[in-house]
Amino acid sequence: MERRSTLDARDWAAWHNAYDDPGSALARRLATVRARIGEVLDTAPPGPVRVVSLCAGQGRDLIGAAAAHPRGRDVRARLVELDPANVRAAREAARAAGLPGVEAVAADASRTDAYLGAAPADLVLACGVFGNITDDDIHRTISLLPGLCAEGAHVVWTRNRRPPDPTPRIRRWFGRHGFQQCWIAPPGERAYGVGVHRFAGRPVALEAGVRMFTFVGYDVLREGAPWPS
């Protein structure tokens, strides 16, 4: 069944305001994601570091991490985001941070076409995505990630661990599709989960015209769930 998108029903620019409250779960998640991105940059071989971000929002994770990292100027990123206000905010943040290699495009991140010319990437960000799509689509997206990944690429992903914790099955799906776990957030923080997986399989060509997921929205998936989902 084709589910409706909640993009028009939710203010995804305002969603980012919780990042400005340092005590919020979202701010803690952001710090964790930025730290993991920093570790990927620490170990990246010399030369350009190719990044794609699915449903990138305002790009606070990558832009914040790259701005603070000596390899940040090597980042060549495509942030894919549908909300025009968020795209503008990401472009402005990248410009202000002096990161000319970071582009933000207004496009549908669920479609593989959005990554043509930017994939294969060394780092794939899927943050704030898995909580907004069905389990079937999480699995489907993971199964298609090899098309976005260069050899040895890292994927940084998030999903909250509200019981019943879905992250064990997400980790199993990564394992099934050629990824090895590098890092998983300790289970104490239930409001969010963050994982890092490394692609250990053989790269595959990205097939154009494939829908990876339908962005349903956490509020449709789980009525009344608090943010972040």
Nearer to ligand SAM, 174 or 215 (CB): 215
Listed in sequence order, the DSSP H helices in the chain are: 25-43, 60-67, 84-96, 135-144, 167-176, 218-221
Residue 83 as a binder of ligand SAM (CB under 6 A): the answer is: yes
Residue 110 as a binder of ligand SAM (CB under 6 A): the answer is: yes
Rounded-to-integer distance, Cα 224 and Cα 209, Å: 34
Minimum Å gap between C-beta 47 and ligand SAM is: 26
- Applying CB under 6 A, among 39, 74, 92, 108 the residue interacting with ligand SAM is 108
Residue 82 as a binder of ligand SAM (CB under 6 A): the answer is: yes
Beta bridge partner(s), residue 78? 52, 103
Nearer to ligand SAM, 154 or 178 (CB): 154
Residue 109 as a binder of ligand SAM (CB under 6 A): the answer is: yes
Minimum Å gap between C-beta 46 and ligand SAM is: 28
For ligand SAM, what does the binding mask look like between residues 111 and 150, x meaning CB under 6 A?
A: ----------------xx----------------------
Nearer to ligand SAM, 56 or 148 (CB): 56
Determine how β-strand 179-184 pairs with β-strand 194-199: antiparallel
Q: What stretches of the chain adopt beta strand conformation (E)?
A: 49-54, 75-81, 102-106, 121-126, 149-158, 179-184, 194-199
Residue 86 as a binder of ligand SAM (CB under 6 A): the answer is: yes
Cβ contact 204:146 at 8 Å: yes
Determine how β-strand 121-126 pairs with β-strand 49-54: parallel
- Applying CB under 6 A, among 12, 157, 174, 199 the residue interacting with ligand SAM is 12
Cβ contact 194:205 at 8 Å: no
Rounded-to-integer distance, Cα 179 and Cα 71, Å: 25
Cβ contact 166:135 at 8 Å: yes
Question: In the window 19-78, what residues touch ligand SAM (CB under 6 A)?
Answer: 55-57, 60-61
- Where does this chain bind ligand SAM (CB under 6 A)? 7, 12, 15, 55-57, 60-61, 80-83, 86, 108-110, 127-128, 215
